Amino acid sequence: MDLVRTERGLRKVIWSWRGSGDRIVFVPTMGALHEGHLSLVRLAKKYGERVVVSIFVNPTQFAPGEDLEAYPRTEKEDARLLKAEGVDMVYIPNPDTMYNVHHATTVQVGGVAKGLETDYRPTFFDGVALVVAKLFNRVQPDTAIFGEKDYQQLATIRRLVEDLDMPIKIIGAPIARDAHGLALSSRNAYFDETGLTLARKLNIIMRKCAADMREGQHVDMATSEAKSALLKAGFSSVDYVEVRSPNSLTVLEGGYLNGPARVLVAAHCPNQGQSVRLIDNFPV
């Protein structure tokens, strides 16, 4: 496995693969890898001959006061896990080359990127779209894999690629969960035992919400019951529980489901005197 840090090194390997006709599949990550990331890597292998994983904790997607400094960084262990999965290259760009002192370009995605997450993290998807566009330009993959855990992010990337004519196929990968149904996330590393026990209740409450709507309950009733249940269980606040159309993420009309939908949630789970923001989503 190549571990590459420079653009020059990256280009050399990518060009040699391209010269041999190999298809390149890309999995962008912020490191602190867990089984969820590894499931993306395994899926990536089905789409091409070469798999590249990037590790970069992207400062532009963190707002002031968020956990940029505290975000877990486990580079050595990440590299070990990726090697064991048979990844061809780990790309770990130097932050100074990703955003040099002259950097002055932003990327803004509208439509699917508006509402839900951006009501609470207004610049989040601008930062994600910027770094993903830069990584795509550097790695030049044929296909890229993103987890459905960050459902709105996946929809945003699909929009970005289509709008900017990037010839890259975007694949969404199913959410990996622990034995209790908690969606795997690098931020789960923050939890102590009590926090983890509460965090694991989120999926149970949301599955009930999805089942109630499937059985004909009004969307407003089901989502408001889910919010109350989350607060009663011990979540300190709920940013949203919303039901949207699965592709465009538009608000559903009529109040009752008459086709596939997605219920999305963001809630704050108290943990050691602070709180961990959890996001998740479920098909209905």
Q: Does 33 bind ligand PAF (CB under 6 A)?
A: no
- Residues 184, 176: contact at Cβ < 8 Å? yes
Stretch that binds ligand PAF, among 7-15, 27-35, 191-199, 245-253 (CB under 6 A): 27-35
If the CB atoms of residues 29 and 281 are measured against ligand PAF, the closer one turns out to be 29
Q: Known catalytic residue: 37?
A: yes
**Of the candidates 131, 154, 168, 229, which one interacts with ligand PAF according to CB under 6 A?**
131
Report the interhelical angle of 7-19 vs 124-139 (nearest 10°): 60
* DSSP E strands, 70-225: 89-91, 143-147, 169-173
Query: Do the strands 2-4 and 89-91 form a parallel or antiparallel pair, or are they unpaired?
Result: parallel
- Residues 283, 246: contact at Cβ < 8 Å? yes
Q: Does 44 bind ligand PAF (CB under 6 A)?
A: no
How far apart, in Å, do the first and last CA atoms of the chain sit?
40
- Residues 29, 54: contact at Cβ < 8 Å? yes
Task: Report CA torsion sign: 46, 50, 56, 61.
Answer: negative
Instruction: List residues bridging with 51 in a β-sheet.
Output: 25
Stretch that binds ligand PAF, among 91-99, 100-108, 124-132, 206-214 (CB under 6 A): 124-132
If the CB atoms of residues 132 and 205 are measured against ligand PAF, the closer one turns out to be 132
**Of the candidates 53, 128, 265, 266, which one interacts with ligand PAF according to CB under 6 A?**
128
How far apart are the C-alpha atoms of 124 and 156, rounded to whole Å? Answer: 11
If the CB atoms of residues 88 and 150 are measured against ligand PAF, the closer one turns out to be 150
Report the length, in residues, of the chain. 284
**Of the candidates 132, 173, 175, 269, which one interacts with ligand PAF according to CB under 6 A?**
132
Q: Does 36 bind ligand PAF (CB under 6 A)?
A: no
Q: How far is the CB of 177 from ligand PAF (least distance, A)?
A: 17
Hey, which residues between 148 and 187 contact ligand PAF (CB under 6 A)? 150, 153
How far apart are the C-alpha atoms of 282 and 151, rounded to whole Å? Answer: 10
Q: How far is the CB of 223 from ligand PAF (least distance, A)?
A: 25
Q: How far is the CB of 1 from ligand PAF (least distance, A)?
A: 19
Q: How far is the CB of 41 from ligand PAF (least distance, A)?
A: 13
**Of the candidates 58, 140, 185, 281, which one interacts with ligand PAF according to CB under 6 A?**
58
Catalytic residue among 37, 102, 180, 218: 37
* DSSP string over 114-151: SSTHHHHSTTHHHHHHHHHHHHHHHH--SEEEEEGGGH
Please work out the total of residues on this chain that contact ligand PAF, with binding judged by CB under 6 A. Answer: 10
Q: How many CB atoms lie within 10 A of CB 215?
A: 9
Stretch that binds ligand PAF, among 28-36, 100-108, 254-262, 272-280 (CB under 6 A): 28-36
Instruction: Catalog residues that contact ligand PAF under the rule CB under 6 A.
Output: 28-30, 58, 61, 128, 131-132, 150, 153
